Amino acid sequence: MIREAVNKLGIEIPDDSKFAETGSGIYKFTVDMVESDRGLLDGAIECQYYGKYGIGQLTNQVLSASFYKEFDAISEQEAYQKLVDGEFQYLGHENLTIQIESCSIVYCIDSKGYYQPNYRFQCIINGKEDEIIIPALK
């Protein structure tokens, strides 16, 4: 019902979006780096729904990115070795005790507006949950 009301406004909600009610009459459709025929989609559409009166306030923050070109990337093992060698930026103590919990690929927007792949290491650093980002491009 809410998807149809948003579509009537000419805004297409991605099929793979996650739907949630975030408040009384406020709804959110979220996509997290989903590939589609429009490119790579990331972001959220949030709206207020007034039943028979339709959509009130609407915010569309879904970014559509197309692939620029392919680049060589380092392996997860190479990223791990950079972490072990201290080749990362971290604000804090010089002596770090790091316990790695997991590793995943994430995409971050660079200074030119392009998504760049990075390895995200979820860690316990000096007893606190944190993350370390290692760029994946060679």
Percent of the chain with pLDDT over 90: 56
Give the tens place of pLDDT for each residue, 35-64. Answer: 887 778 889 999 999 888 889 899 999 988
Q: Would you give the DSSP letter of residue 95? A: S
CB 109 within 8 A of CB 100: no
Phi, psi of 16 (to 5 degrees): -85, 15
CB-CB neighbours of 41 under 10 Å = 19
pTM for the model: 0.68
Is the per-residue pLDDT at 93 higher than 70? no
pLDDT reading at 81 higher than 90:
yes
The position carrying tokens 């009537």 is 8
